[in-house]
Structure 1
């Protein structure tokens, strides 16, 4: 048996660690959220993940208008009008954190940090007894872990060296070589397929789906996977569109299930905190529940694939 070496000094960028998750792979899991995503979905609940560099969130309710953030910002991304209204130029922000450090009330929140594989494994070791007793492990999410393929590969290898189960949540929009580098070290692959029409996919996510669909075929040829579908009103909330995805999933021949996820707007406030538009408000749509997706279950099953909805047991 060949020995797999791990580069424990490989550095990456993460923005959160979430413990005791039950919906992102088997058992009780710890999710590591990585920075960077090639998509900019209108409904994204983690907009702070889309940029590779750290971003700063502004909690207006905690702001005392001391203007210290304005005085330390070297990019002049923060300005105040004479009547005390704060303006933030998101595109100018470099995420160096000077403003958050200067803020006396915690109104500015840094999202993103550099960390080595070694340091992250030390953090994850705190949950090893949970992994052992529940059959859980570590899930990489984001953003999209494939955007940091070198870091994801080494982190997954390090997790396997600890004997932990591994999973990855991915959009699949990455160079095929990056996919091939990472997937061999993953036990469970959860991949999003949002729409089968390339132009509608581009309109709502910023990119075509061509590379995603090709990578789904490549991954399915290597390993079983779960296809996840965020079900979004006025985007793919129809029997035809869900049916098209289910039939594509069935054609891959190695899909465990199609997991339908109801739309919610829980991330909307983050856009406000980043000074960005939440585009779903243009559509005037409401959040969905599991019951709203039940009508799609027979359509998915008729395509020959098991259907899971929302937080149903895996």
Structure 2
């Protein structure tokens, strides 16, 4: 079983925000005011050097910018592979032959995935959110689900962003143009449902698409980015002022209320907030410190808290 390194990361004590609605039957909101970040960790340069020796001395930010510029080709290559969406966890092979669909605009061979991640989730905790640690991440392996979801991934993308990622098993070209033989990496994460959001962001670096995935009812009101948003000088998330966040929170509260009323709307927003906190758990567990990723998490969470407070006061 593939595990993150068991480097203990201190837990954070987080202030909670409680606001009861006027109705005695209304649920109270008891959520952390902010989602804490674990102490910064550098990615393992030895892992990167093992995957691409020519990058051993290249600054990590330059590597990330280069990967972001290749995002379109990498996602095109992912979409050309034919692999099952899931497999039984107890019957995972060590590798899979992934047929490559013919295409007149196929990207270069370096753009194709190097591994297949077989993702399952740890047993969710009934307690309130705390900052996940690498140790707690590994300790819950026995509680993982029985079905593993499969995601093609690029080893260099993972190594350049994930501080809690050990060296991946070797991946060698199959020498065939019609298929790739990719190692299967069993991987247990705090939350499997939000892993596709994290996986997509690391490969396409589209902060706008991630924010829309976290706040789908606001998709029409959110600005678009031109692509590879993290590599732009200012970044996608820097454009959001406090007034803009307040307007988005109002629109979110109105949309939730119109769909389900006050009580149902509160439950919808709480479920939405759970998605954001689950993405946060995965981000902490992998040791990812991407500025735009954290900016999106903070933005989505702040908008949701403000919308929840608006509805709770009604």
Same topology, TM > 0.5: no
Q: Which has the higher helix share?
A: 2
Q: TM-score, normalised by structure 1?
A: 0.26
Q: Which has the higher strand share?
A: 1
Larger RCO: 1 or 2 (CA < 8 Å, sep 6+): 2
